[in-house]
């Protein structure tokens, strides 16, 4: 998945003999330089020129699509570019994969499934395609097949953290907690730098009232990602459930101080009310 923009670090070489293709490739290189200089809009403009010079250069449409959806968030325009790249060269699995990925972002799940199925037909061992297909299938309530795709993604790429997270959450969604716990543990073993895996494992332990285990995993998540506000909130609430008012106050205050602007107002109110009640209780004189 991280390969998506690696092309930007490389300059393309002219391999075609005709003048239009050579000129198109030269313009592509110019576009890459613009991007590397931080000029995304200028890079897209130069890619436009490259496409005009040689409309049969499928890589122009592909690279321009990547810029549009990864940096400029022009999702509909990216879909059109990827469809054009596929029209010119239908055999490249990357084009179908990225088309499916953009369609997922647009929540066009049916077309996304079709694109990702095609990507897998072209390259069955590309784990990211299976993972992305699992997401689309889950959003279409095709849960058994989504599970199979997540598992296949993990088998193909054990150090790819995301499918562990989605598979574990899928099991938790259907209250298959032992399976979910095992998936998250396997994910952590292979991807110990992924805070979401620790957090979601902690949530399961919290729901099972295994508060010590929940606290351990929430702490690990926050250590990896100090501004992980969901983990801070859950850590504070786990301490509260574990009768540790001091640590509950500390972590809920950290949550309130670091929360983003669009945070769930109910969660914010819960944290504020909990802190206020705990502090009032701590300040109250002991009963005679």
In a domain, 64, yes or no: yes
In the structure, what pLDDT confidence band is assigned to residue 70 with cuts at 50, 70 and 90? Answer: confident
Q: What is the mean pLDDT of residues 129-140?
A: 99
Q: Is 141 exposed, middle or buried (0-12, 13-18, 19+ CB in 10 A)?
A: exposed
Predicted confidence at residue 287, as pLDDT, reads 58
Return the percent helix, strand and coil in the chain, to nearest 5. 75, 0, 25
Instruction: Provide the whole-model pTM.
Output: 0.86
Query: Residue 39 sits in which domain range?
Result: 21-75
pLDDT band at 9 (very low <50, low <70, confident <90, very high): very low
| pLDDT tens per residue, range 210-237 | 999 999 999 999 999 999 999 999 999 9
In this predicted structure, what is the pLDDT of residue 4?
Answer: 42
For the chain, the C-alpha Rg in angstroms (whole number) is 24
Residue 82 lies in a domain: no
The answer to the question of residue 61 being in a domain is yes
Tell whether 48 is covered by a domain.
yes
Q: Is residue 246 part of a domain?
A: no
Q: Inform me whether the pLDDT recorded for 7 exceeds 80.
A: no
Average pLDDT rounded to a whole number, residues 56-79: 89
In-domain check, residue 27: yes
Between CA 47 and CA 88 the distance in angstroms is 16
CA atoms within 13 A on the CB side of 54: 21
Instruction: Tell me how many domains the chain contains.
Output: 1
145-156 pLDDT tens trace: 999 999 999 999
Residue 193 lies in a domain: no
Given the structure tokens 């100090």, which residue do they identify? 226
Residue 286 lies in a domain: no
Highest-scoring range by mean pLDDT, 16-30, 47-61, 194-208: 194-208
Q: Is the separation of the CB atoms in 196 and 169 below 8 Å?
A: no
Share of the chain above pLDDT 70, in %: 92
């Amino acid at each position: 998945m991280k390969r998506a923009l690696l092309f930007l670090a490389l300059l393309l070489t002219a391999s075609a003999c005709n003048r239009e293709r050579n000129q198109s490739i030269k313009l592509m290189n110019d576009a890459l330089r613009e991007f590397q200089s931080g000029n995304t809009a200028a890079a897209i403009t130069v890619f436009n020129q490259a496409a005009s010079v040689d409309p049969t250069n499928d890589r122009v449409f592909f690279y321009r699509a990547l810029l549009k959806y990864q940096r400029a968030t022009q999702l509909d325009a990216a879909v059109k570019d990827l469809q054009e790249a596929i029209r010119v060269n239908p055999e490249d699995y990357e084009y179908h994969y990225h088309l499916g990925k953009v369609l997922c972002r647009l929540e066009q799940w049916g077309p996304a499934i079709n694109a990702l199925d095609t990507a897998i037909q072209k390259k069955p061992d590309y784990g990211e395609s299976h993972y992305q297909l699992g997401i689309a299938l889950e959003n279409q309530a095709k849960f058994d097949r989504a599970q199979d795709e997540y598992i296949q993604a993990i088998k193909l790429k054990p150090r790819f953290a995301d499918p562990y997270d989605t598979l574990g959450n899928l099991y938790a969604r259907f209250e298959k907690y032992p399976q979910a716990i095992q998936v998250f543990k396997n994910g952590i073993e292979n991807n110990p730098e992924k805070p979401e895996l620790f957090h979601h494992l902690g949530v399961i332990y919290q729901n099972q009232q295994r508060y010590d285990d929940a606290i351990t995993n929430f702490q690990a998540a926050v250590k990896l990602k100090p501004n992980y506000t969901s983990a801070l909130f859950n850590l504070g609430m786990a301490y509260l459930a574990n009768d540790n008012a001091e640590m509950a106050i500390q972590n809920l205050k950290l949550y309130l101080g670091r929360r983003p602007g669009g945070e769930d107002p109910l969660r914010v109110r819960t944290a504020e009310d909990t802190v206020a009640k705990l502090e009032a209780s701590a300040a109250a004189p002991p009963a005679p």
